[in-house]
């Protein structure tokens, strides 16, 4: 749903200019320094990027899912690590509090997440529980007016920097499944919260992950999301539904950027006396990538509109994540091929994107888990 076409066009225009004039020229620096330049971080805050999907009453822009998808497609046209910094505040880091938090929890945290004053993270994955997230082992034991958390969370995006964490932990040891899990808001300076060293990753340099370790970490009982035990896994799944559409939209944006990079290179470079773009086998790669990016754009916008209309889009969000994450992998692979040897060299953006996009098939539910979710829902609906 687009509430005001003119306003949205202006926003997309502004973001598009920011991506073109400020972020793209700093992509190599981002990768080399493995850090978002501080001045760009400030500009992102000023533009309201930390609060894109946070409702206006909490100081955000309150974008609908369709509007957010269109914006994410623009942001996708540059290194995904730039998005990662503010993406968690709009997505997995804040949505748990927004969707299921008490009014007090929302009032305390959400306005500061919307401005970027607080950076947030989402802690679900553990060393022994990834795709099988419901088997997580981190415990939260009630002790007076606190809970005491013990356990380790793995590969936590923004973990080294985050001020606040949404943490899924088991409050009912007798219930080994999803029903025994609760979600907590944990402040970054909570006693007993430790951060492991930054992980060395394949790509997306500038976006950091690390272990988050809880050793007798005391969290006020009022920080249990929604004020009730046993709802945490459902909260996490609702958060991921929105997140999957957002990530899919980012994949579309990256794919469109790679199509543009491939086309420009194919027009510029000559072999056999003509531009690469005149060779039909190169044209086939360009056409396949263009078609797949367009298919991704169309399906993400359709699912986003349906979500705005109140439809349950759990299956469709997984369809989008499955297709778009795989699609951008194929597009990145062709982009390297169109560039030939240059595509293997670090000075060309496609080499970096080729490594960056690999992550999309892994986090927020792997490709196989999307397949499992889609088929499980299909079978359930047929019975
Ligand atoms: C850079 C990065 C950032 C991340 N950020 C976060 C974050 O902020 N917060 C967070 O909580 N997590 C985060 N993660 C974790 C991520 O969500 C998990 O890595 C992902 O869910 C997969 O879990 P796993 O790594 O344990 O793989 P596994 O679950 O061990 O999977 C290994 C392989 O087995 C397949 N597989 C597993 N189960 C099945 C099945 N039933 N059927 C078929 N195939 C199956 C998987 O698809 C995969 O191919 C991040 C990961 C990375 C790499």
Locate the ligand 1 atom nearest the alpha carbon of residue 129 and give its number.
26
Task: Report the predicted TM-score, pTM, of the whole model to 2 decimal places.
Answer: 0.97
Q: State what percent of residues in the chain have pLDDT above 90.
A: 95
Q: How far, in Å, from the CA of 112 to the mean position of ligand 1?
A: 30
State residue 193's pLDDT score. 98
For 62, counting Cβ atoms within 10 Å of its Cβ (0-12 exposed, 13-18 middle, 19+ buried), the class is middle
Ligand 1 site-directed mutation target among 95, 155, 167, most atoms within 8 Å of CB: 155
Q: Between the CA of residue 135 and those of 28, 83, 160, 179, 259, what are the distances in Å?
A: 40, 30, 25, 11, 40
Is 126 one of the annotated active-site residues of the chain?
no
For 311, counting Cβ atoms within 10 Å of its Cβ (0-12 exposed, 13-18 middle, 19+ buried), the class is exposed
Q: How far, in Å, from the CA of 136 to the mean position of ligand 1?
A: 13
Residue 91 has pLDDT above 90, yes or no: no
Question: What does the alpha-carbon distance between residue 219 and residue 191 come to, in Å, rounded to a whole number?
Answer: 8
Question: What does the alpha-carbon distance between residue 376 and residue 372 come to, in Å, rounded to a whole number?
Answer: 6
State residue 87's pLDDT score. 87
Pair 161, 93: CB distance under 8 Å: no
Q: How far, in Å, from the CA of 61 to the mean position of ligand 1?
A: 31
**Mean pLDDT, range 272-297, rounded to an integer:** 98
State residue 93's pLDDT score. 86
Tokens of 362: 């892994």
The residues, ordered by sequence, that sit 6+ positions from 159 with a Cβ below 8 Å of its Cβ are 121, 153, 195, 196, 208, 209, 210, 211, 212
Nearest CA to ligand 1 atom 38: 131
Q: What is the mean pLDDT of the chain?
A: 96
Question: What does the alpha-carbon distance between residue 230 and residue 109 come to, in Å, rounded to a whole number?
Answer: 22
Rounded to the nearest 5°, which phi and psi values hold at 158? Answer: 65, 10
Tokens of 78: 């540059």
State residue 38's pLDDT score. 95
Q: How far, in Å, from the CA of 113 to the mean position of ligand 1?
A: 26
Place of tokens 């005149």: 278
Residue 277 — left, alpha, or beta (φ > 0 → left; ψ -120 to 50 → alpha)?
alpha
Locate the ligand 1 atom nearest the alpha carbon of residue 157 and give its number.
8
State residue 120's pLDDT score. 94
Three-state DSSP class for residue 364: coil
Question: What does the alpha-carbon distance between residue 377 and residue 341 come to, in Å, rounded to a whole number?
Answer: 44
Q: Identify the band that residue 241 occupies on the pLDDT scale cut at 50, 70 and 90.
A: confident
Beta-strand runs (E) in the chain: 120-123, 139-143, 146-157, 164-170, 181-187, 193-195, 209-220, 270-271, 274-275
Q: What's the gap between Cα 186 and its chain centre?
A: 20
84-88, 273-277, 368-372 — which is least confidently predicted? 84-88
Nearest CA to ligand 1 atom 24: 130
Nearest CA to ligand 1 atom 48: 366
Question: What does the alpha-carbon distance between residue 305 and residue 299 come to, in Å, rounded to a whole number?
Answer: 10
State residue 362's pLDDT score. 98
Q: How far, in Å, from the CA of 369 to the mean position of ligand 1?
A: 9
Nearest CA to ligand 1 atom 43: 368
The residues, ordered by sequence, that sit 6+ positions from 189 with a Cβ below 8 Å of its Cβ are none
Residue 45 has pLDDT above 90, yes or no: yes
Nearest CA to ligand 1 atom 30: 130
Domains of the chain in sequence order: 5-115 (1.10.540.10), 120-230 (2.40.110.10), 234-382 (1.20.140.10)
Spell out which residues line ligand 1, taking CB within 6 angstroms.
Answer: 121-125, 130-131, 155-157, 201, 209, 359, 362-363, 366, 368-369, 372
State residue 240's pLDDT score. 86
**pLDDT tens-digit readout, 137-154:** 999 999 999 999 999 999
Rounded to the nearest 5°, which phi and psi values hold at 180? Answer: -90, 5
Nearest CA to ligand 1 atom 7: 156
Rounded to the nearest 5°, which phi and psi values hold at 275? Answer: -60, 145
Tokens of 46: 């000023």
Locate the ligand 1 atom nearest the alpha carbon of residue 201 and give its number.
1
Tokens of 311: 């439809």
Locate the ligand 1 atom nearest the alpha carbon of residue 121 and give its number.
8
For 143, counting Cβ atoms within 10 Å of its Cβ (0-12 exposed, 13-18 middle, 19+ buried), the class is exposed
Question: What does the alpha-carbon distance between residue 361 and residue 354 come to, in Å, rounded to a whole number?
Answer: 12
Residue 242 has pLDDT above 90, yes or no: no
Ligand 1 site-directed mutation target among 125, 160, 207, 375, most atoms within 8 Å of CB: 125
Looking at 126, 229, 351, 364, which residue is catalytic?
Answer: 364
**pLDDT tens-digit readout, 303-318:** 999 999 999 999 999 9
Q: At what angle do helices 367-382 and 314-339 cross, to 10 degrees?
A: 150
Question: What does the alpha-carbon distance between residue 266 and residue 270 come to, in Å, rounded to a whole number?
Answer: 8
Q: Between the CA of residue 72 and those of 32, 61, 86, 242, 261, what are the distances in Å?
A: 24, 14, 11, 12, 19
**pLDDT tens-digit readout, 322-381:** 999 999 999 999 999 999 999 999 999 999 999 999 999 999 999 999 999 999 999 999
β-strand pairing of 181-187 with 274-275: unpaired
Residue 92 has pLDDT above 90, yes or no: no
Locate the ligand 1 atom nearest the alpha carbon of residue 168 and give its number.
11
Question: What does the alpha-carbon distance between residue 79 and residue 299 come to, in Å, rounded to a whole number?
Answer: 23
State residue 114's pLDDT score. 94
User: How many CA atoms lie less than 13 Å away from 187 in the CB half-sphere?
Assistant: 13
Nearest CA to ligand 1 atom 12: 125
183-197, 227-241, 335-349 — which is least confidently predicted? 227-241
Q: Identify the band that residue 238 occupies on the pLDDT scale cut at 50, 70 and 90.
A: confident
Q: Identify the band that residue 262 occupies on the pLDDT scale cut at 50, 70 and 90.
A: very high
Q: How far, in Å, from the CA of 1 to the mean position of ligand 1?
A: 32
Q: Any idea what DSSP says for residue 279?
A: S
Q: How far, in Å, from the CA of 153 to the mean position of ligand 1?
A: 12
Tokens of 349: 């953006």
Nearest CA to ligand 1 atom 4: 155
Residue 90 has pLDDT above 90, yes or no: no
Q: How far, in Å, from the CA of 222 to the mean position of ligand 1?
A: 30
């Amino acid at each position: 749903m687009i509430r005001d076409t003119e306003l949205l066009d202006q926003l997309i225009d502004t973001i598009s200019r920011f991506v073109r004039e400020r972020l793209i020229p700093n992509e190599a620096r981002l990768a080399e320094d493995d850090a978002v330049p501080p001045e760009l971080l400030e500009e992102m805050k000023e533009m309201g990027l930390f609060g894109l999907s946070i409702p206006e009453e909490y100081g955000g822009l309150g974008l609908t899912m369709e509007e957010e998808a269109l914006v994410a497609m623009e942001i996708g046209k540059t290194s995904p690590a730039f998005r990662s910094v503010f993406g968690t505040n709009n997505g997995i880091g804040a949505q748990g509090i927004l969707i299921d938090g008490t009014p007090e929890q929302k009032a305390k945290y959400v306005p500061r997440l919307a401005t970027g004053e607080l950076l947030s993270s989402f802690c679900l994955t553990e060393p022994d529980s990834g795709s099988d997230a419901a088997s997580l082992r981190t415990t939260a034991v009630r002790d007076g007016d606190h809970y005491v958390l013990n356990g380790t969370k793995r590969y936590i995006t923004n973990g080294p920097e985050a001020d606040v964490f949404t943490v899924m932990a088991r409050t009912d040891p007798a219930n080994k499944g999803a029903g025994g899990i609760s979600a907590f808001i944990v402040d970054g300076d909570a006693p007993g919260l430790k951060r492991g060293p930054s992980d060395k990753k394949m790509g997306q340099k500038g976006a950091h992950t690390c272990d988050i370790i809880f050793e007798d970490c005391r969290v006020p009982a009022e920080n249990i999301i929604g004020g009730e035990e046993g709802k945490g896994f459902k909260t996490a799944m609702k958060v991921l539904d929105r997140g999957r559409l957002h990530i899919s939209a980012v994949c579309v944006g990256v794919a469109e950027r790679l199509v543009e990079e491939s086309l420009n290179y194919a027009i510029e470079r000559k072999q056999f006396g003509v531009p690469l773009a005149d060779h039909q086998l190169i044209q086939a790669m360009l056409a396949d990538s263009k078609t797949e990016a367009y298919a991704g754009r169309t399906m993400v916008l359709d699912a986003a509109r349906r979500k705005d209309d109140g439809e349950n889009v759990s299956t469709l969000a997984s369809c989008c994540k499955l297709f778009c994450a795989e699609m951008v992998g194929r597009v990145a692979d062709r982009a390297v091929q169109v560039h030939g040897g240059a595509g293997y060299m670090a000075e060309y953006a496609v080499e970096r994107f080729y490594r960056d996009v690999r992550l999309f098939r892994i986090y927020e539910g792997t490709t196989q888990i999307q397949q499992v979710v889609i088929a499980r829902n299909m079978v359930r609906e047929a019975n």
